A and B are shown apart, each in its own frame.
Chain A
Amino acid sequence: MRELTIPLSNETIRSLKVGDSVTLSGVMMTGRDAVHKWMIDTFIKKTRQPEGDDREVYEAIKPILKDSVIYHCGPVVSGLETQDYKFVAAGPTTSIREEPYQGDVMRHFGIKGVIGKGGMGPKTLAACREVPGVYFHAIGGAASLIAQSVKKVLGVYKLDFGVPEAMWVIEVKEFPVVVTMDSHSNSLHAEIAQNSKAVLDELLAR
């Protein structure tokens, strides 16, 4: 198992291939549905004006995301009342919902890795080639186990989006993932979808 450290270099990213099991250590950020929509609407397509702390948050997350990883995760967090935050359960959420946004978000912030589950589509795969970046698949539902690799919660932005939807800045150690989409246009998900379609067609014809 290869051990990678964030920030990730272009060279490291290009060396990764579909099927590689790796661990990630360093600082990353969670972000899912509300966050991706907020990024696109406010700062990328600019269809809405920044308001409240939008600009401040944007400036704060830019250096965190550069050459780092965004994790599709809505954690269970303890210590909400005392702000002594700890991740109790933190598995990946289904990534495909971010397909309309992910590629542009990766380009805009220079994000090198996306962690989630279920894989993503052609738009994200194209961004992986350009940026370059990769899609790391975590084990869906393995939330208690993954929470153990989250060593520290460094901060949180947009907690008003709700606990699952906020941006949690975390320090992880040896977070286990598998590369299922690489920067050379390979996607395990596209391959499995194609193979299973052939079997489905055969079963439907019976």
Chain B
Amino acid sequence: MQDLTDQILELVRLAATDLPPDVEKSIREAMAREAPDSAARSALQTILTNVELARENSTPICQDTGTPIFYVYYPEGWSTRKLRQQIEAAVAEATRRAYLRPNAVNAISGKNSGDNLGGEHFPSIHFEEVEGESLHIDLMLKGGGCENVGAQYSLPNTELGAGRDLEGVRKVVLDSVYKAQGKGCAPGVLGVAIGGDRGSSYYASKEVLYRNMEQANPDPELQEMEERLTDEANQMGIGPMGFGGKTTVLGTKITGLHRLPASYFVSVSYMCWAYRRRRMTVKDDQISYQ
């Protein structure tokens, strides 16, 4: 089996310092919509200047390099134990090189491990065996500010008048955007999962954020819902950084899971504008990055 430590290190560097093209494009389009001389436009301009600078200097886009969340899709024959060791080695080296901030704090002792390693859940690594010959590693860096404004609702929700249907989902998602205000580094992207148990629902709300922003939802009903939620969230006028403006949300991604008859969870993962995610593909000793 190949040692991929150096290649994974490059994946981490790319994710931390080089914002994906679909996200950058979406921020540019948002800036064009904001009024000239507005605080919203100026904030988005600063964000784009920062994105360019980070790419040029290979420095982190945001100092909160977040929780590194890896999804590894491997063909038969790979050792997940060795892959885990290589990912951990790459993450520690990326921290040493200041692509990542030391972010793993022991919740009981309060000690920062200093190298972004902390037991089996930090970094967060998910393995799935797949058919075919290519190995894919997806990495998302999700910062704490936006993670803190994520929310989970159990429907029905009387206070919001939200029942167990898509209309109810719409109401709680809008409530989560209102509650986030600018604190999750708006304009954000909403990852929404409907159904599941509390755990699977939250996972799915993050997994849906690996989709390209321009990729349409395979379900036309959910596609329509995504567009409506983005539009209505933007009507709230919270704007970039919460300064007020037309762009509160850059996009919405929704997925559905099977649920228990008794449960109807809606989970919202709020992704900040620094929507850092990258994919690495290994096929026949060839490595490519998307």
Contact = CB atoms under 8 A, between A and B. Distances in A.
B35 to A, nearest CB: 14
A154 B232 CA distance: 47
A164 interface: yes
Given A76-B63, A94-B148, A89 B101 contact: yes
B178 A197 contact: yes
Contacts of A8: none
**Most B Cβ at <10 Å: residue of A139, A189, A193:** A139
Interface string B47-76: 101100110010111111100000000000
Contacts of A137: 241, 243
B110 interface: yes
A145 B43 CA distance: 12
Q: Is the interface of B mostly helix, strand, loop or mixed?
A: loop
A146 B144 CA distance: 19
Nearest to B54: A144
Interface string B230-251: 0010011111011110000000
Given A144-B60, A165-B112, A196 B181 contact: yes
A193 B182 CA distance: 10
Contacts of B42: 21
Interface residues of B, number: 54
Interface residues of A, number: 49
A73 interface: yes
B181 A141 contact: no
Contact of B236 (A142, A144, A200): A200
Contact of A74 (B63, B171, B273): B63
A164 B102 contact: yes
Contacts of A192: 181-182, 237-239, 242-244
B238 A204 contact: no
Q: Which of A74, A148, A200 has the most CB of B within 10 A?
A: A200
B51 to A, nearest CB: 8
Given A76-B98, A192-B239, A141 B61 contact: yes
A77 B100 CA distance: 10
B111 A162 contact: yes
Given A137-B243, A144-B57, 12 more contacts: A34-B110, A137-B241, A139-B47, A144-B53, A162-B105, A163-B102, A164-B112, A192-B243, A192-B244, A196-B181, A199-B236, A203-B232
The 5 lowest CB-CB distance pairs between A and B, nearest first, are A162-B112, A118-B183, A89-B60, A89-B63, A145-B50
30 contacts: A74-B63, A75-B101, A76-B100, A89-B59, A89-B62, A89-B98, A89-B101, A90-B63, A117-B182, A119-B181, A119-B182, A141-B273, A147-B59, A162-B102, A162-B111, A163-B102, A178-B243, A192-B237, A192-B238, A192-B242, A195-B244, A199-B236, A199-B237, A200-B174, A200-B178, A203-B235, A203-B236, A204-B160, A204-B174, A204-B175
